[in-house]
Every structure is written in C-alpha cells, then in structure tokens.
Structure 1
Amino acid sequence: MNEIDEEITPEAGPPAVPALTEEQPARPRNRLQEALRNGVRWLLGVLIVFGLGALTVLFTLYAPGRSRSAQLQASLDQANDRIQGLEEQVEELSALETKNNELQDALGQANVHITLLRTLVEVHAARLSLANDDLTTARGHLTNTGSALDELDRLTAPGQDELLAGMQDRLALAIKELDSDAFAAQSDLTVLATNLVQLENTLFAGP
C-alpha cells in the first residue's frame, strides 16, 4: 500500500499552481509596456505633426519672405549702382558746364574785342577818307562807326557806359563838323580813336 500511495501521490498533486504563481505579475508589466509604447507612438505622432507644421510655416512664410528680401536687396543694390552712375554723370556734366561757361566767357570777350577793333578800323577809314577830301566815303565809315559803338555798348559791362557815351558824343560832333570844318572833324576822330585804344588796353591788356 505504501508503494501504491507513493506512486499515486505525485500524480494527485496539482502541478500548475507554482506556474500560475509566477505568471500573475506578467500581465501588469505587459500593460505598462503597451501603455509606454502607445505613449511613445502618440508623442512621435505629435512631433511629426509639429515638424510638418514647422516645415509648412518655413516654406509658406519664411522661405518666400527670404526670397522677397533677396529680391529687394538686389533691387536696392541695382538702384544704388544707378545712383552712383548718375552721380558720376552729374560730375562730368558739371565739369563740362564749368568748361562751357569758361568758353562762353572767352567767346564773349572775343566778340567784344572784335567789335572794338572793327570800330577802330571804321574810325581810321573815316580819317583817311577825310584826309583825301572824300566826304561821302568818310560819312559812310562814320555811320558804320556809330553802329559798331552801339554793338560795343551792348557787349561791354555797365562800367564802360560813361566812356562809350562820350565816344558817341564825339562821333556825333565829328559828323556835324564834316561839311563845315573838316579839320575839327579830323581832330574829333583822332580823340575818338585814342579813346578806343585806351578802352582796348583797359579790357585786354596783359598783366
């Protein structure tokens, strides 16, 4: 009997009890791991969505803005280059204008000198005609002298008005004396020629 009991005893005991005792804590651990996995997935999903949103903002707002800024900077640089080019042109034109003004002044002085010499030539021609008793020719030269004096008065500075007015008076006196007193007319024309030479020396004599 003892032998039979010993053989039956191992079969009668429930062998699964110790195994159940070891497997019971595994379920909460699996749930925790699953929760952690879900949390990680959710967090990754949020990060992905946030990253996509950030990229969207970058490409829709920042990138076009940066491109626009680059375009504006390029336009600004181009405008500055044009301004610099125009400023250089202004400097060149200013230099040319200064040179042109100098040339205009020189041209004006040359015209004054030519008119003065033309007046003097007419006076000398009138004196020569008067010396040859050619009153008609002398009178023609004196008429030309009057026109030349008017032009000279127009071209010269106001400071010479008094001197030129005296020359006009002297010419009028010579014309009046031409028929009645040729000697007096010759004398007046000599004074007129002297005044013209003095005016030339005043205006154009070198230093």
Structure 2
Amino acid sequence: MHIGLVAVRGSVSEFIDAFAEVWPKFEIVATKDGFANEDEIWAWKDANERFVSAADWTKADPGQEVYVICQDGQWAVLMDFSYVLATDEKALAQLSERFGSALSFVAQTTSGCAFFWNYESGEMKRSIQSVDGEAELAGEALTQEAGIDIQHYYMNETEQLMQAFGLSKLDQLLVPATAVAIAVADRTDYSDLHVEAKAKPWWKFC
C-alpha cells in the first residue's frame, strides 16, 4: 500500500483555487466531478494521465498528472499518487498560511517508510520521518499523538493519527460524491537538464 495525502481546513473548491498559487508550475488543463463511483474516478485518471520522459519532453507535450481532491468533514484532502506534492514542505507552509492548517501523510509499504508533516500558519509544528522502524521526530509532540506509538510510526500509526485529526480511515477517504479530479501539465522546461545530463560522463553522477 502507498499513500500521499495533503489535507487543509477548507473546501475542495478553495483547495483548487489555491493549487495554482502554491504550485505555479502546474497548469490545470482539465477537471471532472460528478463521479458515480470509484471506478469512474480511476478511469478518468487513467485516461487523462500521461508520462513523458525528460528525453521526450516538449512544450507542446509536457505530459500530465492527475490529482483527486475530496471533502472529508472540515478537511479538503488531495490524493497525490506521485508523492511530489505531499513532500513539498514549502508548499505545505504556503497552504497553512492560507488555510491555517496543512497536514501531509506519506507512506510506502514496499520501501518501509512513513512520513508526516503538520504546518500551522506558515510554520512547521511537527514532523515524523520513519524509515525501517526508526523514527526521526522534529517539533513538539501534538495532542493528537496521545496513545499512538510514534516511535514506531508506520501504516497503523498513520491511520490512527489521521483519525485523531478528524480524517476518515484510508478506505473511506475517497468519496465519489465530493471528488474533483484535476489533470495538470508541468510547464517547467526540462530540456536543458536532459542535455546537461547527456553531456556528463557516467562518473559525474556518483
């Protein structure tokens, strides 16, 4: 199992409005709501997502990523299947300045790691980074951590902490009735990076 979530205290529409400001390199090229079920969400994601390598990148064809945002009580939750947004601490700080609170949960079972960030009003309040059962903590312990084995933070602890903040369980988080899917194109020009990488001998990458 793997998850990448960003949650803010606000509505789905407010999160979408903030998206372009917080991640200006992404252009929202398509949106979809009114899903009848989860299968429709995944089908739209598959149809609108397109990977383009740095070697094949062009301004006309930069590729597309799809993110899904759902309403979960007072939280608007963005599902990040690439982990790129969920681990962007600068963006989390910006989101917390706008919404007051921003949470990020990332977990990957194949690599044995789990991460959590809590930003409040632009400041990092708590960070948990756990790899292979070893947790590195930053900031003061939160009241929501009470009764949770933070020193061994992983999948169960991730879900417990989510619930402590008032978020739903992972298998209940995706609600088709509130879901809005957005397809975005990264307009950053990566062509120079690819040329530079090709010009370097292999030992320069070590």
TM bucket normalised to smaller = under 0.3
Task: Compare the two structures and name the one with the higher helix fraction.
Answer: 1
Report the TM-score, using the length of structure 2 for normalisation.
Answer: 0.18
Which of 1 and 2 has greater Rg? Answer: 1
Which structure features the higher share of strand residues?
Answer: 2
Relative contact order (C-alpha < 8 Å, sep 6+): which is higher?
2
Q: TM-score, normalised by structure 1?
A: 0.18
